[in-house]
A and B are shown apart, each in its own frame.
Chain A
Amino acid sequence: AQSVTQPDIHITVSEGASLELRCNYSYGATPYLFWYVQSPGQGLQLLLKYFSGDTLVQGIKGFEAEFKRSQSSFNLRKPSVHWSDAAEYFCAAYGGATNKLIFGTGTLLAVQP
C-alpha cells in the first residue's frame, strides 16, 4: 500500500542550529513529493515540491529537501533554524493510480532559544 512515513514525532533544536526532518515513502514508482508546514490554527502551507529533475529542491523560508531514490527518502533541511520555524511539518506524496495526496503523521518542531 502507498504510504508516507515520518519517523520523528517530535524534534527540538536550538535556534541557529541546523535541522533535518526525515520522510520516507512507499510507492510503486517515484511519486510527486511535497513538504507542508502547519502553524497552530492554520492551514497547510507548501514549503517545496519535487516532481522530477534536480534532486535537491529549494523552497520558501530557507528550506531545502533532497530526493534520494535509493533510500525512498525526501528529507527536509534548513541550515539555521529561526524561532518562527516552530510548527508541525508534514511530508506528502501523490502518485500511482490514486488521485490522493497522502500525508505522513507529521513532525512537531520546537525551537529553543
Chain B
Amino acid sequence: GAGVSQSPRYKVAKRGQDVALRCDPISGHVSLFWYQQALGQGPEFLTYFQNEAQLDKSGLPSDRFFAERPEGSVSTLKIQRTQQEDSAVYLCASSPAQGTEAFFGQGTRLTVV
C-alpha cells in the first residue's frame, strides 16, 4: 500500500475487555515498531520486529500486552483485560531496514471506559 495502515482508527473498550489493534506496514519493509502515545506525551517504544522475529519487547508495560507478526508483514498488538491507564494512541511504524527512516501510521486511539 501507499503507507502504513492501522485499524481501527478508534476503539472504545470497557475495562476488562480484550482488544486487538492491527498494523499493515509498507510492503517489503523489514522493520516494524509499535509505540504508545499518551495524551500530551511523546511516543513511547513498545516493541520491535525484524521480519517475523520480535527482537525487542522491552517497552511492553505488562504481560497483558502481546504483539505478533507471524508472517513478517501484518502485525497485531493485543491488550488483554484492558485498564483505564491503557487509554492512549497506539502508533505503528515500519522501515525498510534497521536504522533507516521510520514511516508512521495514523494510529489507533484506544479509550478504556
Please give the residue numbers on chain A whose beta carbons come within 8 Å of chain B beta carbons, in ascending order. Answer: 6, 32, 34, 36, 41-46, 49, 90, 94-95, 98-106
Contact = CB atoms under 8 A, between A and B. Distances in A.
B56 A101 contact: no
Given A32-B99, A43-B106, A44-B104, A102 B45 contact: yes
B25 interface: no
B91 A106 contact: no
Interface string B29-65: 0010101000001111100101000011001000000
A49 B31 CA distance: 18
Interface residues of B, number: 25
B43 A103 contact: yes
B102 A101 contact: yes
B33 A101 contact: yes
A94 B35 CA distance: 14
Given A103-B43, A104-B42, A105-B42, A43 B56 contact: no
B84 interface: no
Contacts of A46: 101-103
B106 A90 contact: no
Contact of A99 (B41, B98, B106): B98
B91 A43 contact: yes
A53 to B, nearest CB: 15
Nearest to A4: B42
Nearest to B3: A43
A42 B106 contact: yes
Interface string B80-113: 0000000000010100001101111111000000
Given A43-B105, A90-B43, A103-B43, A98 B56 contact: yes
A100 B34 CA distance: 10
A44 to B, nearest CB: 4
Which of A44, A46, A98 counts the most B-chain CB atoms under 10 A from its CB?
A44
A105 B101 CA distance: 19
Given A43-B91, A46-B103, A99-B31, 15 more contacts: A6-B42, A34-B101, A44-B43, A44-B91, A99-B48, A99-B98, A100-B33, A100-B48, A100-B59, A101-B45, A101-B93, A102-B45, A103-B35, A103-B44, A106-B42
